Amino acid sequence: MLGNLKEAAARLATASQRCGVSFMTIVESARLSHSGVKGIQSGLYKLPSARLPDGLPLTPEARQLVESRLPDLRLHSMLKSHGAASLVFAHAVLDDLATECCQIISIADPDAWRDSVINRQVKLADLEGSSFEESYSRLLGEYMNRIGFSEPLAKRIDLIHSKCPPQDPKPLFPSVVDETSEQFTYEPAKVQALDRMRQDILHRVKVDTPDTVLDDVAYLERTCYYLMWLVGNKYRMLTKIESGATGDPPLFVPVSRSDSTR
């Protein structure tokens, strides 16, 4: 079946822009939250929660010592909560992007998904009056609509790798998080560990994130650009990744195409 590279390239460029804007939002929110929390640090000493309840079996000296540390503990907890929110948001961007990359591949190269579609059970009535290509296209569309729910993130990334194997083991990607460009190596174990951390935050309210949370967010961001780079290189839908003006997210530059099909 023929793919539509023009549509796929447009989807890839849109996905890249959406991804860049999302990570800019994450970083700016994290920085504003951090500066805002730091700004109210002195006010934490005036809150009722900065004092222990009366009647506790503590000496005046012990009470004073504990109460002097409560605001700092509150501040630490606030910063950890903001870090946890940043990590959850960043993981959600990657999860959405992995699904989008699978769908872009299906547009550029429908036959790439033949093994996932060709043996699916269908009702004979659904095939009446339809050609093989029409039936295949319908089944592929149904599979793509479900893939974000039926396949975990790690599996979707594996599928992208299988259809778009990397040509360069350590490509270079920029980051709006840490404002650098670095060589990137995809680490499945790291992505899975961050996924478990996300689940702990959401389902176990485990917000005591490590101090490396911004580094983790930057890694998730580069993973997004890595996946788009795999797809773009395989189908020659981009020329490079470049950064725009100061403050703009890095964008894929789609290949200019006059043809709409392969």
Kindly list the domain boundaries of the chain, sorted by start residue.
5-254
- Asked if 251 and 241 count as a contact pair (C-beta separation under 8 A), the reply is yes
Calculate mean pLDDT across residues 91-99: 96
Q: Cα(131)–Cα(154) distance, rounded to whole angstroms?
A: 34
Q: What is the 3-state secondary structure (H, E, C) of 175-228?
A: CCCCCCEEECCCCHHHHHHHHHHHHHHHHHCCCCCCCCHHHHHHHHHHHHHHHH
Q: In 109-152, which residue ranges form alpha helices assigned H by DSSP?
A: 114-117, 124-127, 132-150
Q: Evaluate if residue 21 carries a pLDDT over 60.
A: yes
pLDDT tens string 38-73: 555 555 445 454 555 666 666 777 766 665 665 566
CA distance 91 to 198: 8
How far apart, in whole angstroms, are the C-alpha atoms of residue 21 and residue 248?
8
Beta-bridge partner residues of 241:
252
Phi/psi-derived region of residue 247, left when phi > 0, alpha when psi is between -120 and 50, beta in every other case: left
- Cβ-based burial of 260 (10 A; exposed 0-12, middle 13-18, buried ≥19): exposed
Q: Name the one residue in this structure whose structure tokens are 């729910």.
A: 149
pLDDT higher than threshold 50 for residue 32: yes
Judged by DSSP in three states, 31 sits in: helix
pTM, to two decimals: 0.77
Task: Please name every residue paired with 243 in a beta bridge, in sequence order, or none if there are none.
Answer: 250
Looking at residue 246, its pLDDT comes to 45
The answer to whether the beta carbons of residues 260 and 193 sit under 8 Å apart is no
124-135: pLDDT as tens digits: 666 666 676 887
pLDDT at 245: 44
Determine contact, residues 97/114, Cβ cutoff 8 Å.
no
The pLDDT tens digits of the residues spanning 139-154 come to 899 889 999 888 999 9
Q: How many CB atoms lie within 10 A of CB 103?
A: 19
